[in-house]
Structure 1
């Protein structure tokens, strides 16, 4: 089969199509023809040599896929050849085929296209884990979502609303209109506004109950300022750096703040399978009835992968960037 590979770390021009070994499904896995995949920041970091591949994971880029079942293993239950599915995967999405454990699969409702479905697994499972498993979200709480226009951000806005809570976001000003449409109650331009002051103003001085953060060290002090008592901060990345300037423990102790760091790719297969099962039961039906939507910004053919990576690096997108693999499926 063919896959997108790179021979040495570097810029997006290193990416190219090549012949690779066909996947060999285990007994509990299914073989998928991949129709579409979606980009993630981890793809850019791995391409640059800054994201080591976890032991046992595929070195091929791509953490989420949508496609059709070609073959079902002897111990794989609930799926048949011809089923259209999507899945969170631990690498291997930039390819024509992939073997996926059946416990990671989500069967597509009729109204969901491959290009929409490919935009769901990483973003929504990450947001679901952060909000429900770690953040313990409750109805009526206020959630501050940094990078609100990202894939995870646009998923989190919708999941916060679904939980009966109130989403506020930080994002560039020109992206605010779309985020209000998704359900954001307040949009903060992080380039021109003090997000902590804006969050405190919105909550009438109480502070927010949960923060989803991708920036890291430079935001920690302001995050603590924005927190309510007993708030939960979930740190999903450190795109702004890991060091915290002029840090003091006092706000942590005074407000009893919980700070939890998490990455999805380093989790065990068993953890991701349990998370997917919970998501399948509690959240997945809402895509069939239209309550939740996949937010797709741009669709590229996979032969345009360098342009897709450059576009992601520009931070211009609202929602996900998707690549099709041999199909046209808007």
Structure 2
């Protein structure tokens, strides 16, 4: 499903929603990077710390040489921790950064060449998740699938499907390295994700999907007539997870024609326009919830590393 189809599906659903992926254009990635510097935004620092402190142990469990497939690579700063360690054992590393944005991938490739030169053989893949997986299946040779901060961004009903797809992509000598947010402190989570202020980068990131919709699909949704709201939903059941919900509350009845989608978007006064599909986003797991989900996807956890907020899991396919 391309972005236009996904967007139209979201805007015609009940409740209506804007897909999370729409917010991550070039400007959205800039807002995302700015969140790193927010004192209360614990996730990035905790994740970087667990990767830094565990990466030597991670690499000691890999079949080397191997090719790295980086799912939703972002700016690759955390991925570089793995690449740097692999280069202690390999003269060159084959690296495939994966992202839906070709422009972002081009920028990433330029930066990586400046850092690594010929030490890194970069094979960019401008694809969405499932298309990328189908291509990765054709690769023969040891590989590691790297998925940093990705799993938790998707709706709960998509996560098992995506993990199962990863599992079916792995061969005998392959592994997958995944990070997950395991924060359980409600106050910490709400302070990080639900402090709304239009000047803050996280608020700008949440609403960026509307600006992308206006620009790319030539409509004129009035963001001043929408109020950003959200809540944290806690769920300790082993087969579930906790998560954030964020939406735009319509302050009046308003309608917008979207010719490129062949539709008119109408929001009633008080109606919610969700800023994600499914149950929510930014999922928070207990270790037991992760173990349950990975087992359902036929992924065996070889090793796990954790701190108060972040877990790093090295997995193989259950043959």
TM-score band, normalised by the shorter chain? 0.3 to 0.5
Higher relative CO (CA 8 A, sep ≥ 6), structure 1 or 2?
A: 2
Higher helix share: 2
What TM-score do you get using the length of structure 2 for normalisation? 0.35
Q: TM-score, normalised by structure 1?
A: 0.34
